[in-house]
Every structure is written in structure tokens, then in C-alpha cells.
Amino acid sequence: MADTDATAWPSLSLEEVEALLCAPGQRFEMETIPIRGIPTRVWKNAPPNLRALVELSRTHGARAATILESDRVSFDAQYRAIAALARALAERGVGKDDRVGMAMRNLPEFIVAFFAIASLGAIAVPLNAWWTGPELEYGLKDSGAKLLITDAQRWERIAPSRPNLPDLQHVIVTRAGAAPENTEALEVLIGHPSDWATLPDQPLPDTPLDSDDDATIFYTSGTTGAPKGALGTHRNLVTNIMSGGYNAARACLRRGETPPEPQQKVFLTVIPLFHVTACSATLMGAMAAGHTMVFMRKWDAVEAMRLIERERVNVTGGVPTIAWQLLEHPERAKYDLSSLEAIAYGGAPSAPELVRRIREEFGALPGNGWGMTETMATVTGHSAEDYLNRPDSAGPPVPVADLEIRAEDGETVLPRNTVGELWSRGPMNVRCYWNKPEASAATFVDGWVRTGDLARLDEEGFLFIVDRAKDMIIRGGENIYSIEVENALYEHPAVVDAALIGLPHKTFGEEPAAVVHLAPGAEATETELQNWVRARLAPFKVPVRVAFAPEMLPRNANGKILKRELRAHF
């Protein structure tokens, strides 16, 4: 492809870029195949399944795959550990379509466990590491997990629930020292990460795998309060590899530059791997391209800057929170952050001011995108000049995806620049919700996902998320479904009316706040109600403020609380 004039941005339209990148014989060539009976455009050159991706990752050899504190694991060592753990899981009866729970923070062991499970044709179930014991119990029980791989901290929360989990036959615990009672230590099976390079060189188990076999269950909360497991396939995950690469190449062509050959980068990965943003949109591409993922024990802006300087990190982000904290930290000037090329995020709305400041103060390109658990992350991508020129957009869809804006009837397709409900179609869409046929039928319709987001598409096809039809607050990338917190408040004997709203927050995007009305003569304090919720739900769901309304909360004719009117309390 010839270079074009970079001064006349954009050098090419989106259609011209797609024609170049997706032409026959090109890396991003597409083909149309039936998926569950529906003709679907797919990336022709994507790996066929996750085991093939593991085999591809091994070609990166001695390059560091993961770094956590003093642990530096090469791609070759990681492959040996995946093969060893897959064999150990098979010996414990794990086979095709069995569910295997995972509960841990970002560790090198997470990646090994995830791909060991997937290479057996089993279904990995990454659980939210911030969940409480009862929430983790729900995920294990709902998925019917027969085996669990967990870190010591999560096992302490889950252990009291083990008598309630009849399907759970084996528990493997990592980083616990000695194995807790009735569990096995992962280190006994495959050693510590520093030992993996010395494991035997053996092949992965040879289980027949189809691209549309089930591979994962990621939990997403629903407006009914109980989390729903989104059942994803191998194709869903490998689609992201090509979609991410396409978005990067598109940014180059829009600027008038020839896309370079894929280059290996260093990522500071601070968002949890139990989310599709990190697991699907980041990890899959890292395995394919040989990117290094640097982990942190917990987010700390100073430690992050130290790691960026030490490891010459090229890419970080995840949620806008991280970019804000790096930009505004008083010690920023003490660290050499010049290696940063991109700060990208999804999962939360961001202020246009943030987009400009990333470019001006870091010299890095901002990036974001839109996706959801039900689309296994990437549907749109937005970066570089496109993002600087449309800072309130989430970008255009990748070529294998279709977006439509529909009216409330779910059928009428609305014209451009009209706000309606966003529908998404493509090979990234998960199959259904696990064991929830009614919810599945309402959300997954003829290959489309009914997203519940209110949005518009402009003349060129750029997506603008306007609001969330689903009653949800996104705090720093974590979804908080209002009804779940409201139900917890309603359990308090003094509360007779409750509603949760999102308060704007510069760093987190928004934070949850509650308005409650107490029963006549009853008493409760803000701190008491916060502690009440904290005892029942993960800490990020606890309202940062609680206001007390003297009357029942205002409602419309249908009895729905008018949440717009509640903002006056704050």
C-alpha cells in the first residue's frame, strides 16, 4: 500500500480503508459463514480456536509473556505450564464442556489456568475477584463448576460455601503456602512461575475443537439483580485479535501512513483479567503478537509510573480512572513516561478533556471502544486523530460487526443521528446466557444482541452512546446494577423506599449514591446503611453517599421512580 498525503486528514474514508485492508489475500480478509444458521462475516485469518492460539504464542519463545514483581515468565515457560496443567486437569476428570471456575487476581497463573481449561475443550468461568463469598458461591453454583482454581485470598471467602456446592469435586489453590484442607496446591502440580521453564516439553492434549465450541462463561449483572453468565465461544475470543489489529491499521491509513508490520509491545495491564476488556480485548492479542503483560498487585499510581519507567511500557489504560490518576499525580515529573504510545480504555464514559490531555501531556494517542460482556469486548474502536476529532464518540464498528439503532418496537431501524436502542451483530456475540432461556430470548435475537444502550450513529457510522436504557452505573469500569443495591437496602428493616443513582465523578466517571425513605418512627444513619450494603455486596457497589427523603420517592404513572428528580438531594 502506498503512503498518502498525511496533511489532508483523514487521508481515506472508512470505506476506502476497509477496501484496502480487507481485500482478498490481505491480512484482514473476511468471509461469510453460517454461525448457528445465520450467515455471518468473520475474519478469515483468525486462529481457529484457543488451543491454536496457545501454539502460536509459543513461537515468541524467550520473550517475556508476563511480569509480576520478581516473576518474569517467558512465552515458552508459559506454554510448558499450560500443557502441564491441562494434563493435570484431564487426570482430575475435566473434559469437553465441563465448567472450571477461576477466582484470582491478575497473576501469571490466571493465564495458564485459562488456556489449560480452554485447550481441553472445557469452559473457563472467570469469577469477579472482588465478589463476596456469597457472590462467588452463586457463580460456582450457577455454572455447575466441577473444579475451581483459586488464589488463597479468594478461597478464604469461598471455603465456608463448599458444603453448598455439590458439583465442585476438586479445588486447586495457588499462593497459599501449604494447601488448605481438602484442596491441592497448584505449585505441587506445576511449580511456581519461576519453575515453569524447567517443566517437561510436552504437547497440549489433542481434544477436537471447533471454532464455535463453548469456551467461557463471563458473568454480567442483570437488572433482575442476579448475575447472568454469558456463554462465549472460541470464535468470540479469537475475533478480538483481528479486530484490535484492524483498528490499529485503520488509524495509520486514516493518517496517511502505511500500517507497520505487527510490533511487540509492553502493556501495563491493571484491569482485571476476569473482565472481557482485559481477557478478550488485551490478552488474546498479546498471546498472538507476543506482547508482554506487566501486572500489579493492586493499582497505585506511583507504582504504575515506576513500572512504566522500568519496563518501558508502551500501552496502559483500561478505564478512564487510570489515565486521570496518571495525568494529575503530583509526582509525575519524577518518572520517565516517554515510552507510552497509547492510553486506551473502554467500559466507562470519559470526558472529552481527558482525550485532549492524554495527547498534549503524554504525547500518547488516546484510544477507546465500545463493547460489552455479551459481545466479548471489541465491537467499535476509536483512536488517534479520529478520537481527537470526535472525543465523545466510541468510534466506528469493525468490518465484521453491524450496528443498528432501533425504535422501541425492536424492529424499526432508525435513520442516522436518531437516538434509539443499540443493536449489535457479528462473530464476537456470545451464544446465550447460561441456563437462562427467557433472558437469552429477550437479548439474543436472530444473531443480534439487544444491548439496552441508547445511542446514535452519525453519517459516517461513528457510534455515540447517549445513555443506558438498562439501569446501570459504571464506576471506573465496574458495572453496578441499581436494583441489586436497592434490594440490599430494602432488606434493612428501617428502609421502605430506595433508589440508586450515579453521581458524576472526575476520576471514576460516576459513583453510586442512594436516596432512601425510612419507615415512620424508624432510624438509620448513612454509615449504618453503607455498612449494611458492604456486608452483602462487593465494596465498589456501596453508595458513597446516602440521602434521606422525608416522603416516598417520586414516581411516574407506571410506578417507576423518577430518578432524574433525585439528583437534587446531592
The enclosing domain of 325 has a CATH number of: 3.40.50.980
Nearest CA to 199 out of 82, 61, 60 is that of: 82
Please tell me the number of Cα atoms within 13 Å of 338 on its side-chain side: 2
* Residue 198 within a domain: yes
Q: Both 190 and 331 in a single domain?
A: no
Could you tell me the three cell numbers for 58? Answer: 509459543
Strand 342-345 relative to strand 315-318, pairing: parallel
Domain that holds residue 56: 50-204
Query: Do 197 and 315 lie in a common domain?
Result: no
How do beta strands 228-233 and 184-185 pair?
Answer: unpaired
Asked, for residue 337, whether it belongs to a domain, the answer is: yes
Asked if the structure places residue 226 within a domain, the reply is: no
Interatomic CA distance for residues 555 and 564, integer angstroms:
11
CA 403 – CA 461 distance, rounded (Å): 9
Query: Where does residue 247 fall: left (phi above 0), alpha (psi -120 to 50 degrees), or beta otherwise?
Result: alpha
Q: pLDDT tens for residues 536-559?
A: 999 999 999 999 999 888 876 555
Q: Are strands 147-151 and 123-126 parallel, antiparallel or unpaired?
A: unpaired
Q: What is the DSSP letter of 261?
A: P
191 and 322 housed in the same domain: no
Q: Is residue 412 part of a domain?
A: no
Cβ atoms of residues 140 and 159 within 8 Å? no
280 half-sphere exposure, CB direction, 13 A CA radius:
32
pLDDT at 225: 60
11: cell is 487521508
Cell readout for 311 is 519496563
Q: How many CA atoms lie within 13 A of 561 on its CB side?
A: 19
Alpha carbon distance 127, 274 (integer Å): 6
Same structural domain for residues 482 and 352? no
Please tell me whether residue 148 adopts helix, strand or coil conformation: strand
Does residue 105 belong to any structural domain of this protein? yes
Quote the distance between the C-alpha of residue 101 and its chain's center.
17
Give dist(CA 168, CA 285) in Å, integer. Answer: 32
- C-alpha–C-alpha distance, residues 159 and 180, integer Å: 9
Is 525 inside a domain boundary? yes
Say if residues 244 and 285 touch (Cβ distance below 8 Å).
yes
Whether 516 maps to a domain, the answer reads yes
Q: Are residues 305 and 188 in the same domain?
A: no
Single pTM value for the model:
0.88
Count of structural domains, the chain: 3
From 366, 401, 424, give the residue that closes a domain: 366
Which among 204, 221, 245 is the end of a domain?
A: 204
In the chain, which stretches have pLDDT less than 50?
1-6, 222-224
Helix (H, G, I), strand (E, B) or coil at 271: coil
Residue 139 placed within a domain: yes
Phi and psi (nearest 5°) for 18? -65, -40
Report whether 256 contacts 9 (CB < 8 A): yes
Q: Which of 204, 226, 255 is the last residue of a domain?
A: 204
Q: Pick from 230, 195, 201, 199: which is nearest to 214 by CA?
A: 230
Residue-level pLDDT at 468: 66
Using DSSP, state whether 9 is helix, strand or coil. coil
Whether 481 and 537 have beta carbons less than 8 Å apart is answered as no
Question: Which CATH number belongs to the domain containing residue 553 in this structure?
Answer: 3.30.300.30
Under 8 Å CB-to-CB from 444, ≥6 apart: which residues? 374, 429, 430, 431, 432, 433, 450
3-state secondary structure labels for all residues of 47-95 = CCCHHHHHHHHHCCCCCEEEEECCEEEEHHHHHHHHHHHHHHHHHCCCC
In degrees and rounded to multiples of 5, residue 325 shows phi and psi of -65, -35
pLDDT of 5 reads 41
Interatomic CA distance for residues 518 and 484, integer angstroms? 19
Q: How far apart (Å, rounded) are the C-alpha atoms in residues 346 and 381?
A: 9
Q: What gap in Å lies between CA 482 and CA 491, rounded to an integer? A: 14
Residues 55 and 174 in one domain: yes
180 and 58: one domain?
yes
Task: Give me the phi and psi of 35, to 5 degrees please.
Answer: -120, 115
CATH number at residue 118: 3.40.50.12780
Cα dihedral 78, 84, 90, 94 sign: negative
pLDDT of residue 477: 84
Res 472: pLDDT = 78
Are residues 184 and 75 both part of a single domain? yes
For the record, the C-alpha cell of 290 comes out as 507476543
